Structure 1
């Protein structure tokens, strides 16, 4: 936009050869010179306004750029923190899985031991019943012997 205004400004500058061939060149050059000077002043003012606006836009752009850079760094930090937490959770999960496997094996052995103990209890009960029957039989024989 500034180049376009500068190009218009260059085209509006009065050429000395443009007015040199006319009879009333001094009148036209004075009148045209005043109009050209007014137009140039207006264009210079407009160009200064555009330059000031462009500078403000550059300042805003730089401020937004810094803000976004800060936000991006904050997001990178958060992603890193969350990644670290997830890695820690993964390690904890693997540790718990290993403990569960060990406990599963322990419980399986405990169940086998309980089953074996249950079998021994059953055998002891049978032996006890057998001994009770033998005692009753022996007591009966002793009673018969007494009589």
Structure 2
């Protein structure tokens, strides 16, 4: 019984709106949760890591890119009570820009992502990863107002 309780502890994820002009970087997920949906670069917050450090590390690990101007945008509470992997995630959404505007993302984790591409905010890919779709449905925009 103890193992089941441990599995149901909330986890913290960090997702990064990597922006360039009016575009945002998205990749199509290859995973049990959200398979074939488009998501932002990101991953699990490691022990002792700041949100900014996690954003920098995850973008580098997934896209090979260095980022700058990292800032907190919002947070969501996402609960998956059923399905292949029940879980509860607190997702920290950050915004950042590429350190080199000319650099293009590389698919550093082809077992987790089909590849990365830039999409205009007004023409997002579909389907979006569920927590991201919820933000979009609520009218959220990742750009300064």
Look at both structures and tell me which one has the larger radius of gyration over its CA atoms.
1
- TM bin, normalised by shorter chain, reads under 0.3
Relative contact order: is structure 1 or structure 2 higher (C-alpha 8 Å, sep ≥ 6)? Answer: 2
Kindly indicate which of the two structures has a greater share of residues assigned to strand. Answer: 2
Kindly indicate which of the two structures has a greater share of residues assigned to helix. Answer: 1
